[in-house]
């Protein structure tokens, strides 16, 4: 069973009628439960997700995560074991930042409190693609963990031009164009942050507090999963996608 920073200066519109289709179920086979056990995910990576202090305690379950991951072919199943684990780590790190309940002096540290709040993933395109009208019924994503995770993974797996998919970036399947390279958009975790939050965090010449959190979660989870952090973690000098 497998369960055992910052590179710069960081401290440790309505949807169109036809949205991009969900990725086809190909590219790896298997499922992420072969790499991460229930005990590993919830007791080591997300130890406080059921703490009474968390607004979303009891919402996110291992079973929902595994079931939804299987719906998206290639997620956590592409490449060798280190590549697979890096994708799981990167996804959990980015989403943990979005719903963290941690603070600097929190018990166990700020990165032990991922998945503490339930996030309304109100993605119009995602809702259409996964068969749930999240624009008309945004509360669907906070009432059903399966829908919430499905929306998040749809976003992760689906390229939305000019942005590549987070999945392709973390697995090394995205090749930056000359224009991308010229403005600092090179392969690495930083591009995923750019895809998710663009100008709010990237290209400001310094590591924002949000970036510190995203990178902190990545490092914390990588240490637990026994994989390296990779290169190009921050998007300080990276032009945002438009």
pLDDT tens digits, the chain, 242 residues: what are they?
A: 333 344 444 434 333 344 444 444 344 446 899 899 887 676 788 887 777 877 778 888 899 999 999 999 999 999 999 999 999 999 999 998 887 644 454 454 555 545 554 555 445 556 656 666 666 666 666 678 888 888 889 889 999 889 999 999 999 999 999 999 999 999 999 999 999 988 889 999 999 999 999 999 999 999 999 999 999 999 999 999 98
**Amino acid 139: pLDDT:** 66
CB 85 within 8 A of CB 225: yes
Q: Which CATH architecture has domain 32-225?
A: Orthogonal Bundle (1.10)
**Amino acid 138: pLDDT:** 65
- The residue whose two tokens read 């290639």 is 74
**Amino acid 67: pLDDT:** 93
Known catalytic residue at 98: yes
Record the pTM.
0.80
**Amino acid 88: pLDDT:** 96
């Amino acid at each position: 069973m497998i369960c055992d920073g910052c590179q710069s200066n960081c401290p440790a519109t309505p949807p169109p009628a036809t949205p991009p289709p969900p990725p086809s179920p190909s590219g790896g086979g298997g499922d992420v439960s072969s790499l991460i056990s229930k005990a590993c995910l919830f007791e080591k990576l997300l130890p406080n997700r059921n703490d009474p202090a968390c607004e979303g305690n009891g919402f996110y379950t291992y079973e929902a995560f595994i079931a939804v991951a299987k719906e998206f072919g290639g997620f956590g199943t592409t490449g060798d074991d280190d590549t697979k684990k890096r994708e799981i780590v990167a996804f959990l790190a980015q989403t943990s930042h979005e719903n963290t309940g941690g603070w600097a002096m929190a018990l166990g540290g700020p990165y032990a409190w991922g998945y503490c709040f339930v996030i309304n993933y109100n993605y119009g395109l995602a809702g259409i693609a996964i068969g749930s009208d999240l624009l008309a019924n945004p509360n669907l994503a906070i009432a059903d963990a399966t829908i919430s995770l499905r929306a998040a993974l749809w976003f992760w797996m689906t390229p939305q031009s000019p942005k590549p998919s987070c999945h392709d970036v973390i697995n090394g399947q995205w090749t930056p164009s000359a224009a991308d390279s010229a403005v600092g958009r090179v392969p690495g975790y930083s591009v995923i942050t750019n895809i998710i939050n663009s100008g709010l965090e990237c290209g400001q010449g310094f590591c924002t507090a949000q970036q510190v959190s995203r990178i902190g979660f990545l490092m914390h989870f990588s240490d637990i999963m026994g994989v390296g952090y990779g290169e190009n973690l921050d998007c300080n000098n990276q032009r945002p996608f438009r």
